[in-house]
Structure 1
Amino acid sequence: MTFLSSPRTTVVAGVAAVVSSAAVALLPQPAPSTAGRPTNAVGTWGTAVDTTTFTLADQTVRNIVHTSVGGSGLRISLSNAFGSTPVTFDSVWVGHAGEGATIKAGTNRQLTFSEESSVTVPVGAEVLSDPLPGDLPAQSTLAVSIHVVGDAGTVSGHKLAHQTSWVSTTGDHASDESADAYPTPTGSYAWVESAVVETPQQVDTVVALGDSITDGDKSTPGTNSRWPDVLARRVLARPAPHQFGVMNEGISGNRVLADGSGVSAQARFDRDVLAQPDVRTVVVMEGVNDLRWDFATKPADLINAYRQLVARAHARGVCVVGGTITPWEGGSRWSARREAIRVQVNQWIRTTGEFDAVVDFDAAIRDPQRTTRMLPAYDSGDHLHPGDAGYRAMAAAVDLDDLECRR
């Protein structure tokens, strides 16, 4: 990468962000060679952006992210979608993460934006970096270090990352390979929204849209055990023409019908799904929070909203896999009345054919002896969220051929 000796600040009006989900645990695979072949941009990691509780001023955040599919020309998108003031990033670096906040020696490289090392992002906007030359292996753990100039105001990011990132002392420490300036761990992401790579043309993006169960709540932090992570590992075990980038657009507490923890799934569908690079298929698994908080008081409330998401996706040539709502008897705000609605909604998802395909998450993790609750072996203990074994069962329920749907 060529570094500019006298960078100027460039104001960018906003770029459609691109995202992808995470996968881990296996040894890194070689990035697919794209030499001499048509390519396209695919999201290899991403997260759904919302407001955070960060208070940052003249500090660097080292975000630890884990990619899915490999490729070349890595680009990182940064978001100020929910910020309260324009933010200036004057030093953004990406390298392969080591232990804690360290970066593996010799891998940290500076990102530029329209060939400048500094970029100002208006409120509500997103920016996409220039591509870094070279290949990125599949399932890489990256450290994206971002220094903000001055007081950042309200910080856009992702609250429940289920991954430890790091906040520096005062000053620009983005280029540091050591962890010395990063004393403060955080369980949230700041500003970083996605990682994008160039892949062979037949490789596309799959987006998982959902709530805390897609977000991976109660999975083991730092192990990439959310169900989209496990799904990504399954996808990467296939031959290259059948691989995808997998992006996790789950927000804990999110609802289909109303804002709350993040804006509603309907309100964020364009940004978090349709704006992703070369998205072929979205897996929609959301609705339990609408039931728990009585925003859905009859089956038609959720069914009509699902129909709108399907219609919007189909209008853009995107396939939709419908995920059934998982059981939660014994968990917070369960009732027989809400359970009856869940059963009816799931029956509609399974039988009407309005989705391009169905993944029966309910059947995958319910107790066959008591179908209103989760199988105890899959239960994290709160009776609402699966643990790691439950998330593995959910990922195993996805028919990988359904992800290759074409419209």
Structure 2
Amino acid sequence: MGSPTARGLAAAAIVTAAVLAVLAVPVGAAGAAGTADWSAAWAAGVHHPVPGNDWDGPNWSVDGFTGESVRQVVRVSVGGTTLRVRLSNRYGTQPLRLAGASVGSSGGGATVRSGTLRPLTFQHRSSVTVPAGAEVVSDPVRLGVAALDRLAVTFYFADGTGPATFHQGALTTTYRATGDRRTEPGAEVFGSATSHSWYYLTGVDVSGPAPRRAGRGGSDGRDAAWGTVVAFGDSITDGHGSSPGADNRYPDQLAERLVAGGRRLGVANVGINGNKLLADSPCYGERGLTRFHRDALGQPGVRAVVVLLGTNDIGGGGFPDFGCGASPVVTAADVVDGHRALVRAAHRRGIQVVGLTIPPWKGAFGYDTPPNEAVRDRVNGSLRAGVGYDALVDLDRLLADPADPDALRPEFDAGDRLHVNDAGAELIATAVARALR
């Protein structure tokens, strides 16, 4: 971070766009995963606290919170009658004391709809202490939510938290206020203190039949959610390049199509901007080989995982360390072996796993070099030949400019020749939804 080249590393998270299309294999065959009581309605991959910068904006992760409430708004992909909330202190430097928390239906901005606020408890207590490196899950709470509803989750931290485990690229507004504001339905107390990251919050799970909502279509409100599709990748999965505040990331648009088609599947987006398959980063998360077990296979009700990783390993290989970790040069064999390891891990759990080829990047700053392009071509060739994925979506060809196949089609380019815009995300979501039917 702190330079255009470092920003290029984060941008390289192109990986996600194609991931969902991989779901061509029927998601219903879960094998050992089975039918779970809970489905992940929303999720986020978290990483180390890092300072804000000129490109991603400020964030509160380094200083954390003291005597403050944090209200975070998320959109759930599937509905239910009961929900629970997950939070993480994985990268904290001290035990995290959560003095209290609440959840309610969002009324827009920092407001909560009247009559929907519910306290969250942890083993029947309003407060909980989360050891450094640990995660906790709230007790179930009765609150009917429909697919594509927005929820407001409010955490109150009476004591200093220290640096906060967080997800930097939320593309959604988070609010902060002094004092305990868990039961405040209005937005006035939160003022203008906002951020565009998520803090400590890693998941919202649902169980039970979802209430019907006019105009949502698909479900008759009687059937319960029966599984989770995990979108695993870097910045395209994370939504970089899509419109902030619009829920236009491709996993969001996939969820919309599943709802319209009556598919009762949660979509858990655990993409992290700049993430690599093979190398850890203090800014862009643990390597995919490590976090796959927790962030993908560890989601409740997981039935399928779609994988698009390797863009940053190849394109950022050899970049200097700008404070976000080394970027070792990789070979095509290194990347392909990494994909094979993910496939084996998923299959050991009886979970279907689908792969996506690495999209075009001609003209992308730092990534577009002849050696990098040669490695990308070899990796894609190996993925097409078969590395064990249950299905493969060829994102390279889906997004390529017909006049220049090494480049993104202009109408899908977010502006950096690397990431897709809303239209590109829609194309991916549509292709994936069709593959799932």
* Bin for the TM-score computed over the shorter chain: 0.7 to 0.9
CA contact (8 A) 1:360 1:397 kept: no
Match of 1:307 in 2: 340
Match of 1:76 in 2: 85
The SS at the match of 2:115 is coil
Match of 1:177 in 2: 185
The SS at the match of 2:186 is coil
1:47 aligns with one of 44, 48, 54: 44
Match of 1:9 in 2: none
Match of 2:162 in 1: 153
Q: Identify if the C-alpha distance between structure 1 residues 259 and 39 changes in structure 2 by more than 3 Å, giving closer, same or farther.
A: closer
**Mapping of residues 341-356 of structure 1, within 5 Å:** 341-352=375-386, 354-356=388-390
CA distance in 2, matches of 1:224, 1:232: 10
Match of 1:386 in 2: 420
Taking only the aligned residue pairs, the percentage that are identical comes to 40
CA contact (8 A) 1:96 1:141 kept: yes
Provide the TM-score with structure 1 as the length reference: 0.86
Unaligned runs of 5+ in 2: 1-34, 51-59, 209-222, 318-327
CA contact (8 A) 2:47 2:166 kept: yes
CA contact (8 A) 1:87 1:149 kept: no
**Mapping of residues 206-221 of structure 1, within 5 Å:** 206-221=229-244
Q: Give how far 1:396 is off.
A: 2.0
Q: Give how far 1:215 is off.
A: 0.3
Match of 1:272 in 2: 295
The SS at the match of 1:40 is coil
Q: Give how far 1:297 is off.
A: 3.1
Q: Give how far 1:214 is off.
A: 0.6
Q: Give how far 1:135 is off.
A: 2.3
CA distance in 2, matches of 1:181, 1:387: 34
The SS at the match of 1:262 is coil
Deviations 1:364-387 (A, max 9, x none): 211011011100010011111111
CA contact (8 A) 1:39 1:201 kept: no
The amino acid that maps onto 2:270 is E
Match of 1:16 in 2: none
Q: Identify if the C-alpha distance between structure 1 residues 124 and 290 changes in structure 2 by more than 3 Å, giving closer, same or farther.
A: same
The amino acid that maps onto 1:209 is F
The amino acid that maps onto 1:231 is L
CA contact (8 A) 2:110 2:190 kept: yes
The amino acid that maps onto 1:328 is W
CA distance in 2, matches of 1:318, 1:399: 19
Unaligned runs of 5+ in 1: 1-37
The amino acid that maps onto 1:44 is A
The SS at the match of 1:347 is helix
Match of 1:193 in 2: 202
Deviations 1:61-117 (A, max 9, x none): 101100001112110011111111111112201111123211112211111111111
Match of 1:330 in 2: 363
The SS at the match of 1:394 is helix
List structure 1 runs of 4+ shifted beyond 6 angstroms: none
Q: Identify if the C-alpha distance between structure 1 residues 87 and 316 changes in structure 2 by more than 3 Å, giving closer, same or farther.
A: same
Match of 2:265 in 1: 244
The amino acid that maps onto 2:98 is F
Provide the TM-score with structure 2 as the length reference: 0.80
The structure showing larger relative contact order (alpha-carbon pairs under 8 Å, at least 6 residues apart) is 2
How many residue pairs match? The answer is 363
Higher strand share: 1
CA distance in 1, matches of 2:143, 2:249: 29
